[in-house]
Amino acid sequence: MKSISISLFILILTTSLFTMIAVAEEDKVTFNKLTPEEEQVIIYKGTEKPFSGKFYDYKEAGTYVCKRCGAPLYRSDDKFESGCGWPSFDDEIPGAIKRTLDADGVRTEITCAKCGAHLGHLFEGEKFTPRNIRHCVNSISLDFIPSEAEVETDTAYFAGGCFWGTEYLLQQQPGVISTKTGYMGGDKDNPKYKEVCSGKTGHAETVQVVFDPSKTDFEKLAKYFFEIHDPTQENRQGPDIGTQYRSAVFYNDENQKIITEKLIGILKDKGYDVVTEVVKAGSFWDAEDYHQDYYINTGKAPYCHSYQKRF
């Protein structure tokens, strides 16, 4: 009985610690100041009047971003005229939108995956476009960046155990535009989760990170990556065991390779027996939808990732 009580205490303590870490990471997301009208829609899930929004009949080329946090949401090329009275899009920037069942129990609500801002609702089967999907969005939930003002982006690929936790912690970092879970480093095209888990395809669970170089850089993200997983564990991370859970940085260019090797050298000088692979990035295969934004969608906290300062 005593051992059961001790185990229960450790479980509660560990869960509380991970919850505090998750809350601390969410606090890093910067929110813009909203007007009462914007709060009514973005925070309290209201709806602006049809045909009244700034972007309903807007035809400029560029990117629509979240009014609350500035995260890119939609490209102008995916906007179309539906006649419904609100801006309509038939596609989103990968990883930008979260879908949940609306409070009415019927519709699908769409929110910003980064900050949770209410955007509108999702409809399917209307046949407005070949994609047969409509993101019906409130103009007041959006800002717009013209094409000529859009910033260049860069991409990094990190593998550090279960990609749920790696993605969750990395997507909270300032300057990160979007994240996506997937598979890299194997020898089979378009592998499925069960195949990767078998260890026979050679893939590692990997997170694609698209970031704004004017707000962060590869070295900052790589440092953080080495601090949210244990780079000394070979072919595992916590309770997850297998080559698919190995630690790896898949570099896109020589600069990313040099930076990664420099950081590993620093860690080794500090006494860490780092086993992280440094490999040229190859094909990145998207993981199944239920793996995307897993912890945001479920409200849970990472079970095998936590922050430990190493630099």
Starting at the edge strand found earlier in the chain, the sheet holding 62-66 runs: 72-75, 62-66, 142-146
Residue 192 CA to residue 206 CA, distance in Å, equals 13
Q: Let me know if 66 is a catalytic residue.
A: no
At 280, phi and psi to the nearest 5? -60, 130
CA geometry: angle 158, 24, 184, nearest 5 deg: 10
Burial class (CB in 10 A: 0-12, 13-18, 19+), 249: buried
Catalytic site residue from 115, 136, 197, 304: 136
Catalytic site residue from 69, 162, 197, 304: 162
Q: Which residue shows structure tokens 């050298």?
A: 265
Q: Let me know if 162 is a catalytic residue.
A: yes
Which residues are known catalytic residues? 136, 162
